[in-house]
Amino acid sequence: MSVLASIGGDKVNFPLFLHVLGAMLLVGTLLAVALATAIGWRRPDDAVGLGRFALRTLLIGVVPAYILMRVGAQWTEAKENFPDGFDPAWLGIGQITADAGALLIIISGTLSGIGLRKLQRGSGVGFARAVGVISILLLVAYLIAVWAMTAKPT
């Protein structure tokens, strides 16, 4: 992180801070969803409670964290004043994972809304599991994004 911060000097510190904090909160909330889904798979007797916890966490936590991460990223990029045509692979990987992530988060949010309604009637565990699987996919994508942001492949 210290090396990340040294890229653009003091003017990028605050936007970079928001970006990194948002990304960490995003990973944390996705981790909560994935962990609850994994435990629910092994404990079918409590799958409804765990599913409700996972879907609520996604709706309440993942979306705001994503927005913070994305706004921080755009703000950092704007403050960096990259020259025209500057398009390194690491920046592209970050943008692709963020944009594809947005799509998957929208899908997950929709499934969560439907799933929560169904869980009130005792069904809907399948929706929670689907959201959990998407969360695991997102965690893998963000692992690649963290690698790209730190190793900075050209």
Partner 1 sequence: MDLYDWLLFLHVLSAFLAVGALTALWALVLSTRGATPSLSPDSAMRFGRAGGILVGVGMVGVVVFGIWLAIRIDGYELWDPWILASIVIWALSGWAGGQAGRAFAKDPIGGRRAGIRFQALNSVGLFVILVLMIWKPGA
Residues at the site binding partner 1, with contacts judged by CB under 8 A: 1-6, 10, 13, 16-17, 20-21, 23-25, 27-32, 35-36, 39-40, 43, 46, 49-50, 52-53, 56-57, 61, 143, 146-147, 149-152
- Among 31, 29, 89, 98, residue whose Cα is nearest residue 65: 29
Closer CB to partner 1, residue 3 or residue 103?
3
Closer CB to partner 1, residue 21 or residue 102?
21
Count helices and strands in the chain by DSSP H and E runs: 6, 0
Closer CB to partner 1, residue 43 or residue 117?
43
Beta-carbon-side half-sphere exposure of residue 92 (alpha carbons within 13 Å): 7
Q: Least distance (Å) from partner 1 to the CB of residue 14? A: 8
Contact 72, 4 (CB under 8 A): no
